[in-house]
């Protein structure tokens, strides 16, 4: 038809997205969070290089020694270096995030997507099951699951994953319910696009962002909860250097050797803080009300 083809505004999509994220990271709190998360991830990789001692080596002449130049964070009742144990503990924490948070994200996401998209009895069944799981206090439910599976690090992570699954299912389902009514989904139906393809190509990509934000926010909680299970002796088994397990060691000596429990506690605190700050920043970034202004 018309000879003059209309050109869109000269703006590239990928770049503007990156620019938006860059602007987001200019906030000091977001930067602090990102710095903590990056440091944490670096630590998991470099623990073997940075740790001054092996986390397992016992030094029975130097048990319960307070922080000093030789042992910056002190030693525990077997003379193990707390700094090294905290450093290696970051690996367990990362594993917990990947396994537990990942498990909840994938399983909860899949359930929420299918429930929201297909609706009907399938939706009712999945969501009532989620309600049942949500009715239990988190740690209690995790305890029950670990008790059933048997105490081990992996089982404790799976337990935490199951505990968090319903939240992801609920959140994604809500998103899917909104997205499946949009005109572009209607257009896809009118074009004869099959239901699975509509679900995966149209609905999922447009409802995924909030659960990514949630996964970031939950990463910190997952670390706390798995540490909690280890603290109770249901997660990481001795002598593995898990923050929760080290914390549990320190409990007995807390009045005489405060450093054993304090440093893993601080590590947990920092990681939770870091992920929460990053998660908050991401949430603000993807908030539709803020996007409207843009």
Partner 1 sequence: MTASAAAQPLLEVRNLRKWFDVRLGGLSLSTGHVRAVEDVSFAVAAGEVLGLVGESGSGKTTVGRVILRLIEPTGGQILFKGKDIRPLGERALKAFRRQAQPIFQDPFASLNPRMHVEEILAEPLVVHRLARSRAERRERVAELLRMVGLAPEHMQRYPHEFSGGQRQRIGIARALAVKPELIVADEPVSALDVSIQAQVVNLLRELRKRLGLTLLFIAHDLAVVEYISDRIVVMYLGRVMEVGPARALCRAPKHPYTEALLSAVPVPDPDRKGKRIVLQGDIPSPINPPSGCVFRTRCQYAIADCAKTVPALREVEPGRFKACIRDDVL
| C-beta separation of 205 from 175 below 8 A | no
Pick one of 44, 54, 206, 237: the residue that binds partner 1 (CB under 8 A).
Answer: 206
Rounded CA gap, 211 and 218, in Å?
Answer: 10
Rounded CA gap, 167 and 162, in Å?
Answer: 10
Pick one of 29, 68, 182, 251: the residue that binds partner 1 (CB under 8 A).
Answer: 182
> What is the DSSP secondary structure assignment for residue 234, as one 8-state letter?
S
Token duo for residue 24: 């987001």
Is 69 a residue that touches partner 1 (CB under 8 A)? no
User: How far, in whole angstroms, is CA 241 from its chain's centroid?
Assistant: 20
Rounded CA gap, 164 and 160, in Å?
Answer: 6
- Is the Cβ of residue 13 or residue 28 nearer to partner 1 in the bound state? 13
Pick one of 49, 60, 190, 255: the residue that binds partner 1 (CB under 8 A).
Answer: 190
Among the residue ranges 1-9, 71-79, 103-111, 226-234, the one whose residues contact partner 1 (CB under 8 A): 1-9
Q: How far is the CB of 28 from partner 1 (least distance, A)?
A: 29
User: How far, in whole angstroms, is CA 230 from its chain's centroid?
Assistant: 17
| C-beta separation of 41 from 94 below 8 A | yes
Among the residue ranges 93-101, 200-208, 236-244, 274-282, the one whose residues contact partner 1 (CB under 8 A): 200-208
- Is the Cβ of residue 172 or residue 247 nearer to partner 1 in the bound state? 172
Pick one of 194, 233, 238, 266: the residue that binds partner 1 (CB under 8 A).
Answer: 194
Is 196 a residue that touches partner 1 (CB under 8 A)? no
Among the residue ranges 45-53, 137-145, 178-186, 231-239, the one whose residues contact partner 1 (CB under 8 A): 178-186
- Is the Cβ of residue 20 or residue 79 nearer to partner 1 in the bound state? 20
Q: Which of 264, 274, 271 is closest to 83 using CA atoms? A: 264
CA distances from 206 to 170, 179, 198 (A): 16, 7, 11
Counting every residue written for the chain, the total comes to: 294
Is 8 a residue that touches partner 1 (CB under 8 A)? yes
Residues in touch with partner 1 (CB under 8 A): 1-2, 4-9, 11-13, 182-184, 186-194, 197, 201-202, 205-206
């Amino acid at each position: 038809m018309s000879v003059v083809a209309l050109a869109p505004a000269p703006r590239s999509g990928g770049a503007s997205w990156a620019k938006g994220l860059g602007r987001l990271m200019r906030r000091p709190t977001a930067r602090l969070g990102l710095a903590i998360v990056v440091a944490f991830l670096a630590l998991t990789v470099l623990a073997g290089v940075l740790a001054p001692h092996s986390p397992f080596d016992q030094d029975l002449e130097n048990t319960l020694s307070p922080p000093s130049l030789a042992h910056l964070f002190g030693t525990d009742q077997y003379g193990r270096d707390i700094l090294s144990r905290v450093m290696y503990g970051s690996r367990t924490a990362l594993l917990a995030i990947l396994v537990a948070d990942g498990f909840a994200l994938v399983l909860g996401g899949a359930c929420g997507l299918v429930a929201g998209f297909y609706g009907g009895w399938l939706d009712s069944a999945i969501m009532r099951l989620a309600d049942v799981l949500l009715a239990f206090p988190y740690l209690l439910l995790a305890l029950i699951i670990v008790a059933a599976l048997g105490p081990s690090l992996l089982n404790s992570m799976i337990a935490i994953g199951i505990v968090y699954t319903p939240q992801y299912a609920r959140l994604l389902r809500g998103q899917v319910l909104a997205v499946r009514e949009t005109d572009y989904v209607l257009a896809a139906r009118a074009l004869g696009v099959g239901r699975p393809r509509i679900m995966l190509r149209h609905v999922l990509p447009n409802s995924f962002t909030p659960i990514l934000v949630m996964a970031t926010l939950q990463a910190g909680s997952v670390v706390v909860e798995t540490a909690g299970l280890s603290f109770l002796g249901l997660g990481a088994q001795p002598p593995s250097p898990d923050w929760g397990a080290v914390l549990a060691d320190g409990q007995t000596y807390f009045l005489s050797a405060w450093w054993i429990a304090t440093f893993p506690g601080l590590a947990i605190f920092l990681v939770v803080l870091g992920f929460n700050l990053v998660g908050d920043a991401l949430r603000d970034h993807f908030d539709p009300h803020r996007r409207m202004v843009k």
